Copies of this chain bind each other. A is one copy, B any other.
């Protein structure tokens, strides 16, 4: 396909109902628009700011729901892992393993993920340049895996803000990998004194349109039928009913580049 691809879903697997609703709705939209779709959701949140935050419904239960969604709608799935011993477990359920941004330098984790033979999506650390991501790609390649995606998710800009640097799209593509823009976490406002990371969800469209125009190969958007009641990252997720309109615009921008 000449279109961009989409990684989307709720931040964390909260319940079967939410998983199936989101996977089903987004599948339908993407089929209509000709966008290859990968269902994304985390089975556990390991690096919440505060120890009091929700972390998941149990790993195996959550992974099973992820797999069910993929099977039900005939779509691949992606989920993130946080320690090397999780790689094999997650690989039994998901098609793409994602490495969190804070962990993108952990050699053991990258190698364990690589050895599953799955596609590996490495999120660029908020402290790393696009150029320096070549070392993450090399670590995965050296472990015998050539299927790598790299994802931009914003860069530290003072303590309480992130800024997206679109130069990272061509810089990371220069490593020979498709590049994804994470339109959700790029808008986080970290280090809030409440321990809950804030956001600017009304800017998701700005981030996404600029990404497609800059040549991003894929888009990552967390979406939820009702972000206000979501158990993680509610401040940043796109309401599910706004997704189709945004994707239509992105498809038109993509066509304008061809």
Complex contact A132–B191 (CB within 8 A): yes
Residues of B within 8 Å of A253, CB to CB, are 213, 253, 256-257
Residues of B within 8 Å of A103, CB to CB, are 102-103, 106
In the assembly, what is the distance between CA of A252 and CA of B160, in Å?
A: 36
Chain A positions within 8 Å of B, measured between CB atoms, are 46-51, 55, 82-85, 102-103, 105-108, 125-129, 131-132, 135, 138-139, 142, 155-161, 163-167, 169-170, 190-191, 193, 195, 200, 203, 206-207, 209-215, 249, 252-253, 255-257
Complex contact A105–B49 (CB within 8 A): yes
Copies in the complex: 4
In the assembly, what is the distance between CA of A106 and CA of B165, in Å?
A: 26
Complex contact A128–B214 (CB within 8 A): no
Most central of A84, A167, A212, A255 by chain B CB within 10 Å: A167
Complex contact B139–A51 (CB within 8 A): yes
Question: Would you give the shortest CB distance from A52 to chain B, in whole angstroms?
Answer: 8
In the assembly, what is the distance between CA of A38 and CA of B106, in Å?
A: 26
